[in-house]
Amino acid sequence: MNDIRAIALRDADRDFGLRSLFSLAGAGDGAQVIVCVGDTGLEHLPLDFAALEVWARATGVPKAGPGAVLGVAVYGDLAVSGWIINAERDSGPFLWVRGDVRAGGFATAGSEVRVEGALEVARTFAGVRGRTVVGGDTGVLAAPVREEALRPVRPRRRPVSWGLVRTR
């Protein structure tokens, strides 16, 4: 496992400007952000608040204090062999990746996701209420999403729908 640890939101915001990227207005400075430095490979990544806390403890991610974990910041590429999944309908931890994301599956119901590079999903991308912003190319096998849930920074060649989706 790469360098993965939790740091205080105030430090993550100072280093990465997270408050300008995500809806964190009500979050206290003592809240935690899991930071992955360098290219990171994971089996799965839960983006539900309670599940992310359990995942962090189970994988031995050291926390910087007692605050709740609000999100994950990856300073590099992220490869997840299983699912990146958020089932909380109205919210969820954020995910910010400075590089590319490759995942087996990707589903968000309320999380905010920002991928600076490309997003490649081997199976299904599903988005309901959350917001996923992708700065590079996007490729998925099947994509049942609400139109506003996936926002490629570059214009799409074809609309998001069931079937193979590629954007450039």
Q: Could you report the per-residue pLDDT of 82-127, keeping only the tens digit for each?
A: 999 988 777 889 999 999 999 998 888 888 899 999 999 888 777 6
Q: Where are the alpha helices (DSSP H) in the chain?
A: 9-16, 18-21, 49-58
Distance CA 78, CA 39 (A): 6
Q: Compute how many other C-beta atoms are within 10 angstroms of the C-beta atom of residue 155.
A: 7
Structure tokens at 145: 């999403």
Spatial contact of 70 and 33, defined as CB atoms under 8 Å apart: yes
Residue 145 pLDDT > 60: no
Q: What angle do CA 95, 141, 86 make, to 5 degrees?
A: 30
pLDDT at residue number 44: 94
pLDDT bucket at 75, cuts 50 / 70 / 90: very high
Distance CA 112, CA 132 (A): 6
**Which 8-state DSSP code applies to residue 168?**
-
Q: Compute how many other C-beta atoms are within 10 angstroms of the C-beta atom of residue 147.
A: 10
Kindly list the domain boundaries of the chain, sorted by start residue.
3-167
